[in-house]
A and B are shown apart, each in its own frame.
Chain A
């Protein structure tokens, strides 16, 4: 049973470009969460999605960031007009159910570097 998959693993962008990060949840999981990790810090919640629905985007910056989880295909975290402060590791997690006692399983992350 494959785990959470993310690609690319590393992404380099110049300021002003767009970054697209992809996440495929574990088989049987329909709940996807995106977290951001700055160097030497813990993970910070960004957004929670179910298929075709954004449930909670309270941790995501209002501008330049968007997320989707289409009916077919992976979840996408999109960052437009990247700035140096967007450099971080972005992790996707998935769970079978969204309740608080449900374990979230994390992918290997995408490390974004903005030059």
Chain B
């Protein structure tokens, strides 16, 4: 079955710096890669996603890059702000189905 690894587990950056979180997956049939942000006491909120027909997608300060050959995708946050502090999860649908396999999460702390 699908295996998803996420690194790092914790990340502290100074306000204004960039943060990068990486996920690797095992199923080469996977074709959709969302990233979720989870704040304390809340549910995961979709922040950006990418489909396998593109290598990069950007939305203001957030971008996602995909390397299908190496089977990894990364979340990039530029000009970080304190409100970016949260836990970030990557997810991969198993074999292109509805069953999301989540990474173990990255706790991002932006220091003011």
B43–A91 touching, CB < 8 Å: yes
**In the assembled complex, B65 has its CB within 8 A of some CB on chain A:** no
Q: B residues bordering A, Cβ < 8 Å? A: 6, 30-32, 34, 36, 41-46, 49, 51, 89, 93-105
A106→B102 contact, CB < 8 A: no
Does chain B have a CB within 8 A of A33? yes
Asked whether, in the complex, the Cβ of A48 is within 8 Å of the Cβ of B105, the reply is no
A95 within 8 A of B: yes
Chain A contacts for B95, CB-based, 8 A? 100
Q: A43-B89, A101-B31, A101-B93 are in contact. List 15 more A-B contacts (CB 8 A).
A: A4-B43, A31-B98, A41-B104, A41-B105, A44-B102, A45-B99, A45-B101, A95-B98, A98-B97, A99-B96, A100-B94, A100-B98, A104-B34, A104-B100, A108-B42
- Restricting to A77-115, which residues have a CB under 8 Å from any CB of B? 91, 95, 98-109, 111
Q: Which of A98, A100, A103 contacts B30 (CB 8 A)?
A: A100
Instruction: Indicate the size class of the contact surface on chain A.
Output: 20 to 34
Give A residues with C-beta under 8 Å from B: 4, 6, 31, 33, 35, 40-45, 48, 56, 58-59, 91, 95, 98-109, 111
By the criterion CB–CB under 8 Å, are B98 and A91 in contact? no
CB distance from B57 to the nearest CB of A (A): 13
CA distance A59 to B31 in the complex (A): 22
